[in-house]
């Protein structure tokens, strides 16, 4: 290995080893230093900005949840249990209609359990001075206190179908019922602690999040009952009141019990509430600080380990390169060293040489592939591949570059007529030249219209065209397109070759094994052409034949000829072996 390192032809290995040592050692120590001494403050700002973005997304989700709750409560007013004559019922009516009362209680209980934010849903009937609660054993409870009765009557605002309010110290949503001529309302009481919990992004951050009324009072009345347990919340409310005098929303930093907090505040415009969220900065940046300190502590050790591992890795990595270089240098048919400066330059030159040879071979294969495709179609149409089943035929087509899956096959045959009239342009024996020119024109025109096709040059003034059409395509429209394409062929070939055309359009088929029969039908249809027309298109879909069918077994004759040919070939090979 040392000799390989000191070899002047292996300059690339020496440079690479030194470069790997520098790359593996220097960035580790530099990154740890910059992260600890420079990046902590920048990362802290970025973390705070991310925290604000997350809080905004949380507020949007909270708005969406409250809107969904409002829509859900709105749909309750259409409940069949909350329709007339419920408004005319009195306390005695509820006591007498026990079944109805139980159903109504179950309905209110289902409504109360429809969301974890809802504490209870009550039905108030102001005209009857009572309310219905599923959580009370009496279900229907009269309101005997005049002041309490007057308060609940004041909540019944017919001109406002739905609105937010505060009832008995808790957040509530009032929904009048039913949709027309309301006689009462649903009082949906919410758990303020659960609503505040919607703003909490991560319980492990040990921060605080709560909602305030528009006047700055607490949305959760439990905070006022236990002020000693919520001193931090009171402190945040006072600080937010100072900041909100200058802006409706924003963020700032405050110290509390030796901890620095990132405080964000804003308002829910639709409900008029103000949200406050405080998160300890140390909890947000602690993972970054710990990581940077670990990088700084391990930087020195990393340099030594990186240097050692680079040397060990280079010894293992250079072995394949050395074998490749040795292989190229020993190749008598290759380029040799050619005075290469290092190993990679030698490999590059050899690679370019091999790539050039590969391109040449690929071009040869492409040239032969066109001939193989045409030969395959010729054999298929002339029933020379009858020994292959449908799956094997499709596999052959895939090998030649077609995608027959999900396709319908349409065969066209083009006959060139009037060659004897071209004595001034073509001589006797030029039929193959004319057919070749026609096949090229048909291929170019087909490429503009169809995605998959195959052209077969049948030499004697005959060219066949196989089209692969998707099964889901409208065949009626495809027939019109084929007729238009045939007209284009007649116009183009007549303009170039000055010959008449007879075009046969076969019926479509989904089986490749049916192509020999379809091809034979096209050839037979030429016997029904109109001799008075110069150019003609025969479509087997619309061609009506009145002749009696020929009962001669052509397919059986072809099979017997093929078997005899195979048998004759076997006997010839046996005689050759005996000789």
Residue 222: the pLDDT is: 67
Q: Looking at the predicted structure, is the pLDDT value of residue 135 above 70?
A: yes
Q: Looking at the predicted structure, is the pLDDT value of residue 338 above 60?
A: no
Residue 483 parent element (H or E): helix 475-497
Q: Looking at the predicted structure, is the pLDDT value of residue 349 above 50?
A: yes
Residue 557: the pLDDT is: 67
In the chain, residues under CATH classification 3.30.450 are 77-190, 194-285
Q: Is the Cβ–Cβ distance between 122 and 187 less than 8 Å?
A: yes
Residue predicted with more confidence, 113 or 279? 113
Q: Is 343 exposed, middle or buried (0-12, 13-18, 19+ CB in 10 A)?
A: buried
Helix residue ranges, H only, 155-280: 192-197, 222-225, 231-244
CA distance 488 to 485: 5
pLDDT one-digit tens code per residue, 183-237? 999 999 988 778 777 766 555 556 787 888 777 777 776 677 777 778 888 888 8
Structure tokens at 101: 């009362």
Which residue pairs, CB below 8 angstroms and at least 24 apart, start in 192-195? Answer: 192/219, 192/220, 192/221, 192/222, 193/220, 193/222, 194/116, 194/117, 195/117, 195/171, 195/219, 195/220
Which residues touch 240 (CB under 8 Å, ≥6 apart)?
212, 263, 265, 274, 276
Q: Looking at the predicted structure, is the pLDDT value of residue 547 above 90?
A: no
Output b/e per residue, 164-199; b: 16+ Cβ within 10 A.
Answer: beebeebbbbbbbbbeeebbbbbbbbbbbeebbebb
The stretch 139-151 carries a mean pLDDT of: 90
CA distance 247 to 377: 80
Whether omega before 566 lies within 30 degrees of 0, making that bond cis, reads no
The CATH number of 77-190 is which of 3.30.450, 3.20.20, 1.20.120, 1.10.287? 3.30.450
Backbone angle region of 257, left / alpha / beta, with phi > 0 → left and psi within -120 to 50 → alpha: left
Q: Looking at the predicted structure, is the pLDDT value of residue 287 above 60?
A: yes
Backbone angle region of 164, left / alpha / beta, with phi > 0 → left and psi within -120 to 50 → alpha: beta
Query: What is the SS3 assignment for 7?
Result: coil
- Say what the pTM is: 0.43
User: β-pairing, 500-505 with 536-539?
Assistant: parallel
Which residues touch 541 (CB under 8 Å, ≥6 apart)?
479, 505, 507
Which residue pairs, CB below 8 angstroms and at least 24 apart, start in 250-254? Answer: 251/48, 251/52, 253/281, 254/278
pLDDT one-digit tens code per residue, 410-419? 999 999 988 8
Q: Is the Cβ–Cβ distance between 35 and 295 less than 8 Å?
A: yes
Helix residue ranges, H only, 205-342: 222-225, 231-244, 281-329
The stretch 72-86 carries a mean pLDDT of: 89
DSSP summary character for residue 270: T
Domain 194-285 has CATH 3.30.450: yes
Structure tokens at 94: 């509820």
Domain 372-551 has CATH 3.40.50.1220: no
How would residue 309 be classed by pLDDT, with cut points 50, 70 and 90?
Answer: confident
Nearest partner of 273 among 321, 319, 219, judged by Cα: 219
Residue 414: the pLDDT is: 92
Residue 226: the pLDDT is: 73
Nearest partner of 189 among 225, 158, 220, 214, judged by Cα: 220
The stretch 324-328 carries a mean pLDDT of: 74
CA distance 507 to 543: 11
Residue predicted with more confidence, 398 or 12? 398
The stretch 368-382 carries a mean pLDDT of: 87
How many CB atoms are closer than 10 A to CB 455?
A: 23
pLDDT one-digit tens code per residue, 479-511? 899 999 999 999 999 888 888 899 999 988 999
Structure tokens at 227: 């002020």
Structure tokens at 76: 């309750």
Q: Which residue has the tokens 């400066």?
A: 341
Structure tokens at 91: 């306390």
Helix residue ranges, H only, 83-172: 91-96, 98-112, 146-154
Residue 370: the pLDDT is: 82
Q: Looking at the predicted structure, is the pLDDT value of residue 9 above 60?
A: no
Whole-angstrom distance between the N-terminal and C-terminal Cα of the chain?
63
The stretch 349-356 carries a mean pLDDT of: 82
Q: Which residue has the tokens 């528009």?
A: 214
How would residue 4 be classed by pLDDT, with cut points 50, 70 and 90?
Answer: low
Q: Looking at the predicted structure, is the pLDDT value of residue 579 above 50?
A: no
Work out the mean pLDDT of the chain and round it to a whole number: 80
Structure tokens at 123: 């039905």
CA distance 305 to 40: 26
In the chain, residues under CATH classification 3.30.70.270 are 372-551
Q: Looking at the predicted structure, is the pLDDT value of residue 158 above 60?
A: yes
Q: Is 64 exposed, middle or buried (0-12, 13-18, 19+ CB in 10 A)?
A: exposed
The stretch 350-360 carries a mean pLDDT of: 83
pLDDT one-digit tens code per residue, 239-285? 888 888 787 778 888 888 888 888 888 887 777 788 888 888 777 66
Query: What is the SS3 assignment for 414?
Result: strand
Lowest mean pLDDT among 6-15, 399-408, 509-518: 6-15
Residue 259: the pLDDT is: 84
Q: Is the Cβ–Cβ distance between 272 and 63 less than 8 Å?
A: no
The stretch 111-130 carries a mean pLDDT of: 90
Residue predicted with more confidence, 481 or 544? 481
Q: How far is CA 431 from CA 9, 419, 424, 459, 492, in A?
A: 64, 8, 14, 7, 18
Residue 423: the pLDDT is: 63
CA-based R_g, the chain, Å: 45
Lowest mean pLDDT among 306-320, 500-514, 554-568: 554-568
Return the biggest CA–CA distance within the chain: 130
The separation between CA 348 and the C-alpha centre of its own chain, rounded to angstroms, equals 39
The stretch 166-175 carries a mean pLDDT of: 83
Q: Looking at the DSSP assignment, which residues form a beta bridge with residue 409?
A: 468, 509
Residue 359: the pLDDT is: 86
How would residue 325 be classed by pLDDT, with cut points 50, 70 and 90?
Answer: confident
CA distance 329 to 206: 69
Residue predicted with more confidence, 202 or 72? 72
The stretch 317-346 carries a mean pLDDT of: 66
């Amino acid at each position: 290995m040392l000799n390989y390192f000191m070899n002047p032809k292996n300059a690339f290995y020496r440079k690479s080893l030194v470069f790997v040592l520098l790359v593996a050692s220097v960035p580790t120590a530099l990154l740890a230093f910059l992260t600890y001494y420079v990046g902590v403050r920048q990362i802290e700002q970025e973390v705070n900005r991310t925290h604000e973005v997350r809080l905004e997304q949380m507020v949007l989700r909270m708005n969406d949840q409250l809107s969904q709750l409002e829509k859900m409560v709105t749909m309750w007013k259409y409940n069949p249990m909350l329709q007339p004559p419920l408004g005319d019922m009195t306390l005695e009516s509820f006591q007498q209609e026990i079944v109805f009362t139980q159903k109504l209680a179950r309905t209110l209980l289902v409504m109360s359990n429809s969301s974890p934010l809802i504490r209870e849903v009550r039905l108030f009937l102001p005209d009857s001075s009572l309310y219905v609660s599923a959580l009370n054993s009496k279900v229907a409870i009269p309101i005997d206190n005049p002041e309490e009765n007057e308060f609940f009557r004041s909540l019944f605002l017919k001109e406002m179908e739905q609105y937010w309010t505060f009832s008995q110290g808790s957040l509530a949503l009032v929904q009048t019922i039913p949709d027309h001529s309301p006689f009462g309302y649903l009082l949906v009481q919410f758990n303020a602690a659960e609503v505040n919990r919607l703003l909490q992004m991560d319980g492990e951050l040990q921060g605080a999040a709560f909602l305030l009324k528009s006047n700055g009072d607490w949305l959760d009345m439990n905070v006022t009952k236990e002020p000693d347990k919520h001193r931090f919340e009171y402190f945040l409310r006072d600080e937010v009141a100072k900041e909100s005098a200058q802006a409706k929303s924003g963020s700032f930093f405050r110290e509390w019990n030796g901890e620095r907090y990132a405080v964000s505040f804003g308002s829910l415009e639709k409900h008029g509430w103000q949200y406050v969220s405080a998160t300890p900065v140390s909890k947000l940046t602690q993972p970054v600080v710990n990581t940077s300190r670990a990088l700084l502590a391990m930087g020195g050790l990393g340099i030594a380990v990186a240097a050692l591992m680079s040397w060990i890795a280079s010894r293992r990595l250079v072995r394949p390169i050395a074998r490749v270089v040795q292989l190229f240098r020993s190749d008598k048919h290759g380029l040799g060293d050619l005075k290469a400066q290092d190993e990679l330059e030698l490999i590059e030159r050899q690679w370019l040489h091999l790539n050039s040879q590969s391109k040449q071979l690929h071009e040869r294969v492409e040239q032969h592939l066109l001939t193989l495709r045409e030969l395959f179609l010729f054999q298929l149409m002339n029933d020379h591949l009858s020994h292959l089943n449908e799956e094997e035929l499709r596999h052959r087509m895939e090998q030649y570059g077609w995608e027959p899956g999900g396709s319908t096959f349409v065969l066209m045959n083009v006959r060139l007529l009037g060659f004897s009239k071209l004595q001034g342009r073509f001589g006797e024996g030029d039929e193959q030249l004319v057919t070749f020119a026609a096949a090229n024109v048909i291929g170019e025109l087909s490429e503009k219209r169809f995605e998959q096709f195959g052209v077969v040059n049948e030499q004697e003034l005959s060219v066949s065209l196989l089209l692969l059409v998707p099964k889901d395509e409208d065949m009626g429209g495809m027939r019109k397109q084929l007729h238009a394409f045939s007209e284009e062929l007649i116009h183009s070939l007549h303009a170039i070759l000055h010959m008449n055309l007879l075009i046969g359009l076969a019926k479509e088929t989904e089986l490749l094994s049916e192509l020999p029969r379809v091809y034979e039908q096209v050839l037979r249809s030429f016997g029904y052409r109109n001799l008075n027309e110069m150019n003609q298109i025969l479509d087997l879909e619309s061609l009506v034949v009145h002749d009696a069918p020929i009962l001669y077994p052509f397919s059986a004759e072809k099979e017997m000829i093929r078997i005899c040919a195979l048998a004759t070939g076997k006997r010839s090979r046996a005689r050759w072996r005996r000789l």
